[in-house]
Structures are given as C-alpha cells and as structure tokens.
Amino acid sequence: MDIQMLAEEVPVEGEYSLEGVDFITSGEQYLTFLLADEQYAVDILCVEEIRSWENPTRIPNSPCYIKGVINMRGIIVPIVDLRMKFNIGEAVYCETTVVIVLTVETEDKTRTIGFVVDAVSDVLNVEANEIKPAPVFGGCVPQSYLDGLVNVAEKVVTILNVKTLQAVEKHQIN
Amino acid sequence: MSVDLSQFIPSFLEESFEGLELMESSLLDLEQGDDETINSIFRAAHSIKGGAGTFGFNNVTEFTHLVETLLDEMRDGRRKIEQDDVELLLDSVDCMRLLIESIRDETECETSKIIETSVLLEKTLAADGVEVSEAITINSSDTVESKTDDSSTWQISFIPEHHLVQTGNDPLLLFNALADVGEVTIVACAKDLPALNDIDAEEIYLSWNITLQSSAEEDDIKEVFEWVEDECELIITKEELSNGDLSIPELLTEPASLEEADSIVPTPTIEVPVQPTSSPSATNTDKPVSKAKTELGSIRVGVDKVDSLINLVGELVITQSMLSELGNDFDLSKVERLNSGLEQLLQNTKELQESVMRIRMLPISFAFNRFPRLVHDLSKKTGKEVELILKGEQTELDKTVMEQIGDPLVHLVRNAVDHGIESAEVRIANGKPKKGTIMLDAYHQGGSIVIEIKDDGGGIDREAVFNKALEKGIVDEKTVLTDAQTFDLLFEPGFSTAKEVSDISGRGVGMDVVKKNIQALGGRIQVISEPGKGSTFRVNLPLTLAILDGQLVQVGTETYIIPLITIVESLQPQKELINRVSGDMVLYRLREDNVPVIPIYQLFNIPCEFDNIENSLLVVVEADGQKIGLMVDDLLAQQQVVIKSLNDNYQQVDGISGATILGDGSVAMILDVPGIITMALAQAQLNQQNRSRLQPKITQSISEGVNS
C-alpha cells in the first residue's frame, strides 16, 4: 500500500475509513483508561508507551504513591500509582494493571514518568468545544489536575492535565 | 584550485584563545619583568596576527599589529615596562578577545571599545620618542594609496612547492594580500605543468612572476609570504637595483606558532577532536564545512595518554584473537584457558576504560588561569591589595565538570575579594598585614576533588546573617542555628548581607545559583568561617560523572550500591564491641575508634531481614572525616556501575546520589554516604527535640540484643 497515495485521498477533515483503516484528521486524540470504574483520559501525544506492571525499585522515604523507579531501555523512570495518588479504588496489581509512560517537554528538558492505572480502554476523538469545564465540587482529584470533562455516550470521561500530573511534589523525610 | 580555508578557522580560533590566555597570564607576571616573558607575549601576539592575516580577518590583524609594535619596543628595550602600559596591553587583550569572539560567533562586535583602545595604543606609541618604523592606521590600504610618490617596482618570483595547497595555503590569498600592499601584475608560468593524466588535483604546478608597484619595504613583502616561505622558492628583487643576483632570502625566524605551542604545553600534544569527523580529504573540496560552534570543543591530550591507549587496544586485539581461536574447536578441556582469557579480557577492558576516562581529565589550571586577572582587576576596582595564591593546579578534573565549575568559582572569588578581604585601614587596625590573601587550592580526597577558596578577611558576620534571615522571614527569633546552618542561609535566593550594593557583588543573586550549579554536578559546598580570621568555601566535586566502583549490598529485598571509595572496611560485628551510649546511640568499637552505627532500613523506612545489629553486617564508610557503620543484611558483588541521575525524571533524593542498572536489568540506588551522615545527624537532632518533650523510648530495636 502506498502510504503517500493513501494520504492524498484522505479528506482534510473528518473521519474516513479505507480498507478497514480509520483515518482521523480532526480534533484531539486522547487515551482513556480506568481507575476503579471511572474513566480518565490523557493527551495521546504525551504517551510514550504502555507497559505491563513490573515491580519497581523503591525510592527511600518517598510518598506511598511513588512506587519506585524502573529501567526503561536505560532510562530511569519513576512510577506513580495514580489510584493511590488520587485515592480512587484499591491499589491491587493484577494482569490488567498497566503502566502508561508519559513524556512531557518542560522549558529545558523532557520528563518521563510512568503512571499505574487499572486498565487502558480506548482512544477518544474530542473536538475542543466538546470539552466542558469540570464542576468545582469535592472529589478525590484536585482541581488543578483536571482539564475538563467529555461526554461519551452515557459515560463521562475526565481529561487529566499531563503537565500537572508530571510535577512531582517535593517530599522530605519524616 | 583553492582550498577551503574555513575548515581551519576553528583551530585558528582555538589557538588564538590559547594565545590570548598566555598573553594575559604573562602580562600579569610581567610586573616583575623579564625578557623571556615579554618574548612569549610577543610570540603569542605575532601568531594571532599571522593567523588572522591568513584568514583575512583584517580587523584582528590591524589591531594586533598595534599591540605587537608596542610589545616589540618593550622587547627591544626601547621602552621601559610601565604599569600603565601593562594595563593598556591587558585592555588590548580584552579587545582582541572581543574581536576573535565576534569571528567565532559570526556577529558584529562592539567597536567603540576597540577604537578607544587602539587610539590609546597609537597615542602611547606616538608619545614615546621612538620612531615607529611602519605607518600605522586602522585602515592600512588607505595609507598605501596616499603615498604612491616614493613607490618602487619589485620583481617577485614565486615558485611554490607542489604540495603548497595541502598545507592550507592558497596562492590567491597571497596575491590578494600583495594587492593590498601595492599595484600588482601577475604572470603565471605553466612550464612545469605535466600531462593531463599525470596531474594530481591536489598539487600545484604553476609558478608566478609578480611585478609589484609599491612603496613598501622588502620586509613588508616578505611578511606576505611569511607562512609559505618554507614551501616555496621566493626571489624578491628591486627594479632600480640592477643586480638580479639577490638570492633567496634567509628564513627570518622559525614560524612563531611552533615555539608558542611548546611554551604552553610542556609535553608534545596532539589534537583529538571530541566528535568524530569524516576524514579531512572528504570534506576538503566538495562540501562546505559546517560552522564550528562553541560547544563543539576539542581536548588537547598528552601523547603519553594516547600511546597508552594504543597499547591497550593492541592488547585487547591480542586477547580477542586468542579467544576467537579458542572458540574454533572448543571442548571442556579448554575451560581453564577460556577462564584465563576472559580474565585477561576483563583486565584489558578495565584498563582501556580507565585510559579513556583519563582523556577527559584536564588539570584544573584550565579553570584557575582566569583568576589572576580577575583578582588583579578586582583589587584595582575595590582599592584593596590582594594577593592570589594558586595551589594544586595540576589536579585533574573531568572536562565537563571543569566547564561547569568555572562560573561558580568566579563568583566565590569575587565575593572573597569584595566581602571577605577588608580594606587596608581595617586590616592594619586589626593587626593584619596590609595585603589580603586569597588562596585557591585543589586536591583529591577519596573519589572526589576538593576546591577551596580561602581568604584571610573578616569572616562571616553570623549576627548579620541571622538578622537578615529574620528580616526575610526565613527563620524566627526562637530558631537556634548551628554555624553550618547559619552559613547555609547564605545560599538562600536573594540573600545578601552587604551593606552596599557594589557593581562587583552584593545584590544577593548568585550564591543560590552557585549552590545550584554545584549540586547539579553532584557536588557540595561547605562554608567555614572564623570571625576576624577569614572564611573558607569548600567545594566538593565528583571526579568524574559517569562511572563508579561500587559494592552491592542487600537490605531487606532491596539492593543498594555503596561507592567502593568510601568504604573503610566491612565486618561482622562482635557482640562485646557493641556499645550503647547516651540513650539510643549505638557505637561500634573499631580498634581505637567508636563508630556510630546507622541502620539503613531505619533511615530509609524499609523492611529488612535482620534488624538486630548482631546478625547483620557492618560496612564502615568514611566521608568528610567522619566514619560511620552502615548496617546491611548482606554483602553482594563488587562491580563498576554507570551512574544515572534520578533528577532527570524525578528529583534529588536524600541519601541517594543516583541510580544504576544492574546486569539483570533492574535498577539499584547508589548511596550518597555524606548525605546519609547528614540525614542521620538531622534525625538524631529531631529525636533529641522530641525526647525533651516525651519520655525517652526505652527500647530501640537495634540495641535490644545488647541489653538482653
């Protein structure tokens, strides 16, 4: 299949299917995942890779939600358990438990952190105007982590801000 | 055919900067005055001028020419060496640096300072009674045109050797340079030209007859050919003089650059480019050489280091061939030979690795060299008399560390002059010598290098620091701080106790940056100060950033790495030697020393197998003169580990200097021994504070075994 030719046939906007391949050319794409039975999403462009759970090396005196660090092809990547960080559901590690590795470029460097979630579910297409601001009512997830809500069928997906997710809180001993 | 000269520009720049450094340091030494020093300054200036001329950087050539003339007069003894002239020359060096930097960065440089300095130079030259042999103006071509009346005709026969262009010389440039001197008519002579299929495209077969109409002296014409005179036959005759037998001129001097290079580095050196480049012949003609930017640096490496590398590679090749031969028809009877072969391979790899690391090591004098000038300038600006003593300049340090540490050191030295050293009156009133002393010292200590900046000034005013911190709301009145904690406040952002802000320092920006930079290198900074006697800033830096010899230890399910260099010994504790003092502290008697025992599991809050000191092992480590015993469950292998930063994706962790990847792909933490000592101290202090409120805990898990 000549990719160049295919690409020319794809219209500029809208969804288009060719020989069973979906082409999506509008809106932003998000990767959705589950924490307990709640749906969350992050910008798919930040996703470096999705790994299965492996036991990391602990970092001494770190908060409980920082599980430790793993070796990802020679890079030391810290692992944060989102369920523990946001206090959603139970932090159990089973076969569907996965780690979503997110990379974000900050001013002068890139930062790569892995996040433990219960399961990865889907890729979501969202137009900017579909994202609604999250209501300011309690909840486990602090407001600064939320980019907005998206309605998908009957469900609501919460879009998380990757930049705030990546900002590791300073922690001290004791 | 022309050679693309631009490929040599980076080397020219590098040599020029070295030359400038040499000039600067020699000028500072010149105050005592001796012939050899002034000669070496002159040579440095001369080769910069020559090089700049070759590449057509006329502004550098013209400016340097002025400097050279002044130096020449000093060299010949026609001019006394005055302090003012030395200052002027130092300023000129700054200007030359500006000019050359502008070439490097391909920017326009600020001309006002250069014009100012060159006017000063000319004034100085003119003020002196000595007649300056050459007419000097900033634009030399103007001069030539204005003085055509006493011109004469020169016949120059220029017969280059065939390989002339391969040494980076281009006849065209020479002719252009001649055209600047006067009016030229050039006739090429092609009688030596071989048949077309015998021609080597990189050789030169032509010779030229040049008629030059100029007022210039013979020396001026020779100067144009200065860089090629070894590689050509050059006959210069003046037309009026009818004698055609003026022979090939004697070589004036050896090219200055050779002598100069020797005087910089005592051992012969060769250039090793840091980044691999394709062979020069490939880049020669067809593609433009990419512009060298500053970060693409090169290292000068002593030939001895390279020779030892070559030897090691030779041994490695031998081992490799032995092993591959062994593998051809291998059976179990050869296991022993295989083992010894592998052993040899290990040895070779290790030595090779060490040698390669040594290439990156440079003597710290590279970083120290700028300080004499800095202190000289600062002492003039502040009106304080300061003497700078440099020690341990040969201490070697990783190039990357060296580059990063320069600015923090400048800052610390600046502070020492501005804040540390008191004014002469105060010093005399306090019974100190009028001249202040700043000492820069570098030495190795264990696996790190220590740089000390020591002044004999007034010391740090503890009260002022505390009050300032109070004012800033960093501490409250009840806080009791140790000396070290007080001095640590100096590194808070925006912290300055200077009563006045001067243009040297005192704005409070900087010390926090100094600390940050040093920490970014994995180093530490420590302040020691005694009122009235002076202060010492001690910077601890890792020798190299990449690899470390480590002892793997097991604590619970975790594996940690202790830098081998910090380990004094490892032992199995004997019950009778365990002592418990002052409530909860466990000491282990190691011969004459009492070593405090720190259980890693407690410090890091992790489960472990043995929480009783008797069943565990003790690794005695030393840092900053303090010995401590780390309690671990088991000793594992010793191996070299590559240090990976936790900072990249996470943050600095107390007690951990980094992480590494073990043979099985898992991650292990590298313990930061000095950090652990600090942590343990902090924890002990915290416990003490708690205890003053609560009843002391009677039982401490690790000492249970001792009491029972």
pLDDT digits (tens, 9 = 90+) for B288-297: 333 333 445 6
What is the distance, to the nearest Å, from the Cα of residue B152 to the centroid of all Cα atoms in its chain? Answer: 52
Q: Is B68 a catalytic residue?
A: yes
Are residues B345 and B370 both part of a single domain? no
pLDDT digits (tens, 9 = 90+) for A43-62: 888 898 999 888 888 888 88
Split at pLDDT 50, 70, 90, the class of B524 is confident
Q: Return d(Cα A147, Cα B479) in angstroms, integer.
A: 43
- Quote the pLDDT of residue B151: 65
Split at pLDDT 50, 70, 90, the class of A164 is confident
Cβ contacts of A108 on chain B, cutoff 8 Å:
none
pLDDT digits (tens, 9 = 90+) for B622-653: 876 688 888 888 889 888 888 887 877 787 78
Reply yes or no on whether the pLDDT at B515 is more than 60: yes
Overall size of chain A counted in residues: 174
DSSP string, B243-303: -----PPPP-S--HHHHHHHHH-SS-EEEEESS----HHHHHSSSPPPPPPTTS-EEEEEH
Q: Is B229 a catalytic residue?
A: no
Are residues B587 and B485 both part of a single domain? no
More confident residue, B446 or B398: B398
Q: Return d(Cα B263, Cα B257) in angstroms, integer.
A: 10
Structure tokens at B698: 């009677």
Find residue B581's DSSP bridge partners: B585
Q: Return d(Cα B199, Cα B162) in angstroms, integer.
A: 11
> How many CB atoms are closer than 10 A to CB B577?
15
Reply yes or no on whether the pLDDT at B271 is more than 60: no
- Quote the pLDDT of residue B498: 58
Question: Which CA distances in Å does B647 have to B521, B558, B562, B640?
Answer: 11, 21, 19, 21
Split at pLDDT 50, 70, 90, the class of A99 is very high
Residue-averaged pLDDT of chain B: 75
Q: Return d(Cα B518, Cα B511) in angstroms, integer.
A: 11
Question: Which CA distances in Å does B656 have to A60, A72, A79, B114, B677?
Answer: 8, 20, 17, 51, 12
Identify the domain boundary among B138, B171, B188.
Answer: B138
Average the pLDDT over each of A68-72, B320-324, B640-644 and give the range with the smallest value.
B640-644
Q: Residue B405 falls within a domain, yes or no?
A: yes
Residue-averaged pLDDT of chain A: 79
Q: Return d(Cα B499, Cα B482) in angstroms, integer.
A: 24
For residue B521, the domain's CATH number is: 3.30.565.10
Structure tokens at B174: 């020479």
- Quote the pLDDT of residue A5: 65
Give the DSSP H or E segment for B83.
helix B83-105
Are residues B390 and B507 both part of a single domain? yes
- Quote the pLDDT of residue B176: 80
Catalytic residue among B18, B68, B226, B260: B68
- Quote the pLDDT of residue B53: 82
- Check: CB of residue B475 under 8 Å from CB of residue B463: no
Cβ contacts of A68 on chain B, cutoff 8 Å:
667
Are residues B386 and B528 both part of a single domain? yes
- Quote the pLDDT of residue B545: 61
- Quote the pLDDT of residue B535: 87
Reply yes or no on whether the pLDDT at B262 is more than 80: no
| Residue B684 sits at the chain A interface (C-beta within 8 Å) | no
Split at pLDDT 50, 70, 90, the class of A9 is low
More confident residue, B684 or B707: B684
| Residue A71 sits at the chain B interface (C-beta within 8 Å) | yes
- Check: CB of residue B53 under 8 Å from CB of residue B61: yes
Q: Residue B267 falls within a domain, yes or no?
A: no
pLDDT digits (tens, 9 = 90+) for B114-125: 788 888 888 877
More confident residue, A125 or B254: A125
First to last CA, chain A: 60
For residue B637, the domain's CATH number is: 2.30.30.40
**Can you give the residue ranges of every domain in chain A?**
15-165
Reply yes or no on whether the pLDDT at B589 is more than 80: yes
Split at pLDDT 50, 70, 90, the class of B546 is low
The nearest CA of chain A is from the CA of B622 a distance in Å of 21
Q: Return d(Cα B217, Cα B287) in angstroms, integer.
A: 40
- Quote the pLDDT of residue A101: 92
The nearest CA of chain B is from the CA of A49 a distance in Å of 15
Q: Residue B296 falls within a domain, yes or no?
A: no
What is the distance, to the nearest Å, from the Cα of residue B225 to the centroid of all Cα atoms in its chain? Answer: 36
Residue B256, φ and ψ in degrees, nearest 5 = -65, -25
- Quote the pLDDT of residue B497: 58
Dihedral class, residue A144 (left if φ above 0, else alpha if ψ from -120 to 50, else beta)? alpha
Residue B323's Cβ-count burial label (10 Å; 0-12, 13-18, 19+) is middle
Split at pLDDT 50, 70, 90, the class of B268 is very low
Q: What mean pLDDT comes out for the span B463-488?
A: 77
Q: Return d(Cα B645, Cα B652) in angstroms, integer.
A: 9
What is the distance, to the nearest Å, from the Cα of residue B327 to the centroid of all Cα atoms in its chain? Answer: 46
Q: Return d(Cα B676, Cα B683) in angstroms, integer.
A: 10
Q: Residue B571 falls within a domain, yes or no?
A: yes
Q: Report the interhelical angle of B111-127 vs B58-75 (nearest 10°).
A: 30
Split at pLDDT 50, 70, 90, the class of B615 is confident
Identify the domain boundary among B138, B154, B183.
Answer: B138
Are residues B349 and B235 both part of a single domain? no
Nearest to B667 among A62, A70, A111 (CB): A70
- Check: CB of residue B172 under 8 Å from CB of residue B2: yes
Q: Residue B276 falls within a domain, yes or no?
A: no
Average the pLDDT over each of A137-141, B57-61, B123-127 and give the range with the smallest value.
A137-141
The secondary structure of chain A, three-state, reads CCHHHHHHHCCCCCEEEECCEEEECCCEEEEEEEECCEEEEEEHHHEEEEEECCCCECCCCCCCCEEEEEEECCEEEEEEEHHHHHCCCCCCCCCCCEEEEEEEECCCCEEEEEEEECEEEEEEEECHHHCECCCCCCCCCCHHHEEEEEEECCEEEEEECHHHHHCCCCCCCC
Residue B346, φ and ψ in degrees, nearest 5 = -60, -45
Q: Give the best residue of B602, B643, B667 to mutate against chain A (max A CB count within 10 A).
A: B667
Structure tokens at B703: 């000492």
Q: Return d(Cα B331, Cα B402) in angstroms, integer.
A: 52
Find, among A151, A144, A154, the residue nearest to A129 by Cα.
Answer: A151
| Predicted model pTM | 0.48
Q: What mean pLDDT comes out for the span B265-290?
A: 40
- Quote the pLDDT of residue B583: 65
Reply yes or no on whether the pLDDT at B272 is more than 70: no
- Quote the pLDDT of residue B564: 82
Residue of chain A whose Cα is closest to the Cα of B668:
A57
Q: Residue B266 falls within a domain, yes or no?
A: no
Are residues B568 and B494 both part of a single domain? no
More confident residue, A97 or B85: A97
Reply yes or no on whether the pLDDT at B239 is more than 70: no
- Quote the pLDDT of residue B552: 92
Write the DSSP symbol of residue B447.
Answer: T
- Quote the pLDDT of residue B293: 38
Q: What mean pLDDT comes out for the span B337-343?
A: 88
> How many CB atoms are closer than 10 A to CB B19?
29
A15-165 classified as CATH 3.40.50.300: no
Q: Give the best residue of A48, A57, A111, A165 to mutate against chain B (max B CB count within 10 A).
A: A57
Split at pLDDT 50, 70, 90, the class of B692 is low
The nearest CA of chain B is from the CA of A42 a distance in Å of 19
Q: What ipTM does the predicted assembly reach?
A: 0.76
Q: What mean pLDDT comes out for the span A122-148?
A: 80
Cβ of A168 within 8 Å of Cβ of B650? The answer is yes
Are residues B335 and B463 both part of a single domain? no
| Residue B683 sits at the chain A interface (C-beta within 8 Å) | yes
Are residues B399 and B463 both part of a single domain? yes
Reply yes or no on whether the pLDDT at B669 is more than 60: yes
Catalytic residue among B169, B348, B415, B540: B415
Reply yes or no on whether the pLDDT at B334 is more than 60: yes
DSSP string, B125-155: HHHSSSPPSS---S-HHHHHHHT-TT-EEEE
- Quote the pLDDT of residue B78: 73
Are residues B178 and B96 both part of a single domain? no
- Quote the pLDDT of residue B694: 54
Residue A48's Cβ-count burial label (10 Å; 0-12, 13-18, 19+) is middle
- Quote the pLDDT of residue B256: 41
Reply yes or no on whether the pLDDT at B18 is more than 80: yes
Q: b/e string for B400-434 if b means 16 or more Cβ within 10 A?
A: ebbebbeebbbbbbbbbbbbbbbebeebeeeebee
Q: Return d(Cα A26, Cα A15) in angstroms, integer.
A: 8
Find, among B89, B78, B97, the residue nearest to B29 by Cα.
Answer: B89
Q: Is B690 a catalytic residue?
A: no
Q: Are strands B232-238 and B152-160 parallel, antiparallel or unpaired?
A: antiparallel
- Quote the pLDDT of residue B693: 60
Q: Are strands A38-43 and A155-160 parallel, antiparallel or unpaired?
A: parallel
Find, among B133, B464, B103, B458, the residue nearest to B292 by Cα.
Answer: B103
- Quote the pLDDT of residue B542: 73
What is the distance, to the nearest Å, from the Cα of residue B137 to the centroid of all Cα atoms in its chain? Answer: 37
Reply yes or no on whether the pLDDT at B158 is more than 50: yes
Q: What mean pLDDT comes out for the span B212-232?
A: 76
Reply yes or no on whether the pLDDT at B702 is more than 60: no
Identify the domain boundary among B359, B393, B427.
Answer: B359
Dihedral angle over CA of B411, B414, B415, B419, nearest 10? -170
Q: Return d(Cα A44, Cα A123) in angstroms, integer.
A: 8
Q: Return d(Cα B639, Cα B339) in angstroms, integer.
A: 18
Q: What mean pLDDT comes out for the span A135-148?
A: 77
Q: Give the best residue of B643, B649, B660, B681 to mutate against chain A (max A CB count within 10 A).
A: B649
With a CB cutoff of 8 Å and minimum separation 6, the contacts of A133 are A148, A149
- Quote the pLDDT of residue B140: 39
Dihedral class, residue A61 (left if φ above 0, else alpha if ψ from -120 to 50, else beta)? left
- Check: CB of residue B666 under 8 Å from CB of residue B650: no
Chain A with chain B: Cβ pairs closer than 8 A:
73
- Quote the pLDDT of residue B290: 37
Catalytic residue among B15, B21, B46, B540: B46
Q: How many domains would you assign to chain B?
A: 5
Reply yes or no on whether the pLDDT at B335 is more than 80: yes
- Check: CB of residue B651 under 8 Å from CB of residue B645: no
Reply yes or no on whether the pLDDT at B696 is more than 70: no
Split at pLDDT 50, 70, 90, the class of A14 is low
Domain of B470? Answer: 363-542
Reply yes or no on whether the pLDDT at A6 is more than 70: no
Are residues B458 and B473 both part of a single domain? yes
Q: How many percent of chain B have pLDDT more than 70?
A: 80
- Quote the pLDDT of residue B699: 44
Residue B695, φ and ψ in degrees, nearest 5 = -70, 140
The nearest CA of chain B is from the CA of A56 a distance in Å of 8
Cβ contacts of A162 on chain B, cutoff 8 Å:
none
The nearest CA of chain A is from the CA of B650 a distance in Å of 6
Q: Return d(Cα B690, Cα B221) in angstroms, integer.
A: 87
Cβ of B654 within 8 Å of Cβ of A62? The answer is no
- Quote the pLDDT of residue B133: 40
More confident residue, B160 or A26: B160
Q: What is the CA radius of gyration of chain B?
A: 34
Are residues B99 and B178 both part of a single domain? no
Give the DSSP H or E segment for B69.
helix B58-75
